[in-house]
């Protein structure tokens, strides 16, 4: 299904679709078809971007980091709306989080515990970011999650 | 870049009242730094992610934070003024009374703070980082300075 079929009409060019029954010249037809095609292409690429988990994840991560990097409260950091939306992405976020952790260890433990219900971190490792990161990366490898570059 | 983002978040900091004293790191936070620990992130989070002294309640209340520092021989006091022979810690809370930050006094009388994932800074006064991020200072604690052991 194309975006136009899904919406029912062209969102930015309603009139273009409703001149079909009116007698028009070939040039107008060509202009209309090319205009429709390019707009559809443009809107589809936005739609694909918004539904791409990796794009969504990195947009949310960027917002979350910008607004919480100066905080110490794990609770405040983890309750940030963008972080909660990452948790809301569910299992699809796990390989993205693990890949991010591998390169930039950070506060992903709350999200991983919430999504997976697992905790590979030993009590004596709590708060030790490097050791906790290694524990989760080992867990991810055992579970067969791919890591992205 | 670092100074710019710090001053954007803490508008009362300016070139003549603070300095950056470490690289940025996620390995420890302000609560740990005030306690003298550079290896762990301290927080009483409900999911048991981070380190918290087992003798202190695992709740983000001021009392819990006081208890955590009491395990390190700190006791509540009523003055921010530097006292020879003592080291002091200040706990900041937000508008709801929930702890947000801790700073430790240096022998110069200045204060040292770790800013979340960012750098450690030295600042002249506690009030230079009050505001929307850390709220205000709620409690001061002190303990006798440990004397170097003689060999």
Domain boundaries, chain B: 3-144
The closest alpha carbon to B49, from A33, A132, A126, belongs to A126
ipTM here:
0.94
Q: In A, which residues are within 8 Å of B6 by CB distance?
A: 70
Facing A130 at nearest CB: one of B27, B60, B116: B27
Express each pLDDT in B87-117 by its tens digit: 999 999 999 999 999 999 999 999 999 999 9
Among chain B residues, CA nearest to A68: B116
Q: Which among B33, B12, B16 is positioned nearest to B119, based on CA atoms?
A: B33
Nearest residue of B to residue A112, measured between CA atoms: B49
Q: What pLDDT, on a 0 to 100 scale, did the predictor assign at position B16?
A: 85
Report the side by side order of strands in the sheet with B75-77: B18-20, B120-123, B111-114, B99-105, B86-93, B136-144, B75-77
* C-beta atoms of B50 and A74 within 8 A: yes
Q: Across all residues in chain A, what is the average pLDDT?
A: 84
Q: What is the DSSP string of B59-84?
A: SSSHHHHHHHHHTTT-EEES--S--T
Q: Which of B42, B46, B49 sits opposite A109 (nearest CB)?
A: B49
| pLDDT per residue as tens digits for the range A72-96 | 999 999 999 999 999 999 999 999 9
Pairing of strands B136-144, B86-93: antiparallel
């Amino acid at each position: 299904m194309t975006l136009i079929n899904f919406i029912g009409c062209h969102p930015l060019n309603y009139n273009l679709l409703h001149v079909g029954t009116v007698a028009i010249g070939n040039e107008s037809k060509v202009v209309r078809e090319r205009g429709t095609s390019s707009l559809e292409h443009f809107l589809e690429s936005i739609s694909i971007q918004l539904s791409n988990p990796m794009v969504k994840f990195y947009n949310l991560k960027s917002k979350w980091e910008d607004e919480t990097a100066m905080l110490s409260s794990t609770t405040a950091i983890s309750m940030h709306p963008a972080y909660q939306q990452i948790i809301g992405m569910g299992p699809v976020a796990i390989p993205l989080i693990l890949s991010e952790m591998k390169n930039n260890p950070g506060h992903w433990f709350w999200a991983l515990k919430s999504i997976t219900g697992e905790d590979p971190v030993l009590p004596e490792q709590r708060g030790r970011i490097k050791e906790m990161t290694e524990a989760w990366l080992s867990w991810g490898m055992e579970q067969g999650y791919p890591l992205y570059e | 870049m670092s100074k710019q983002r710090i001053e954007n978040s803490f508008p009362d900091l300016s070139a003549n009242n603070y300095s950056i004293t470490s690289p940025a790191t996620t390995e420890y936070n302000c609560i740990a730094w005030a306690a003298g620990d550079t290896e762990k992130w301290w927080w009483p989070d409900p999911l048991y992610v981070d380190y918290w002294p087992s003798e202190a309640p695992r709740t983000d209340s001021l009392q819990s934070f006081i208890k955590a520092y009491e395990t390190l021989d700190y006791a509540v006091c009523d003055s921010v003024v530097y006292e020879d022979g003592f080291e002091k810690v200040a706990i900041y809370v937000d508008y709801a009374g929930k702890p947000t930050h801790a700073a430790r006094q240096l022998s110069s009388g200045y204060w040292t703070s770790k800013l979340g994932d960012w750098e450690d800074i030295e600042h002249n006064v506690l009030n230079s980082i009050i505001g929307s991020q850390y709220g205000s200072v709620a409690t001061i604690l002190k303990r006798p300075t440990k004397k170097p052991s003689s060999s």
